[in-house]
Structure 1
Amino acid sequence: MSSDRLALITTDPAVLSGQAVIAGTRVPVSVVLDCIAAGMSPAEIVAEYPTLTSEGVQAAAAYGALLAREELVPLGPE
């Protein structure tokens, strides 16, 4: 993830218990990723959460991709 995008993701223990959020908002990255997973377009997500920008949505997607490279989560029966 580029450093420009990384700057759009912040954590602060005083904001939403330290969850990763889009900078300048109280919108958690997980909420944006849930919206993407539900098939919403970036424009629909921004319309639903007006404090977001399309760059913030892209940053959340990039952050999620970065996390997916870091940890394997079993998805099926073992």
Structure 2
Amino acid sequence: MKLFYGEIEGNQAFINDEEQQHIVKVLRMKDGEEIHVTDGQGNLASGTLMIEGKKQILTLKKLKATFLISARNFILPLHRPKI
């Protein structure tokens, strides 16, 4: 799974310039590849990569948003000092 950080608004996801350059230049991803974008708030959008023009504008088509809700409870044992 190729996961990137960005902003998810409605049915669109926006990826910053550094991430865009990494996707195109380093990972050499092409049109039609599946990517996933998270906003750090528990939302995950997955879609198909679409590159437009030489400016390397990245957009997602077929966007599917998933809202991740953590249902984990943690119990932290604490040492009780002797008095």
TM-score, structure 2 as length reference: 0.28
By percentage of residues, which structure has more strand?
2
Please report the TM-score for the alignment, with normalisation by the length of structure 1: 0.29
The structure richer in helix per residue is 1
- The structure having more radius of gyration, on CA atoms, is 2
Higher relative contact order (CA 8 A, sep 6+): 1
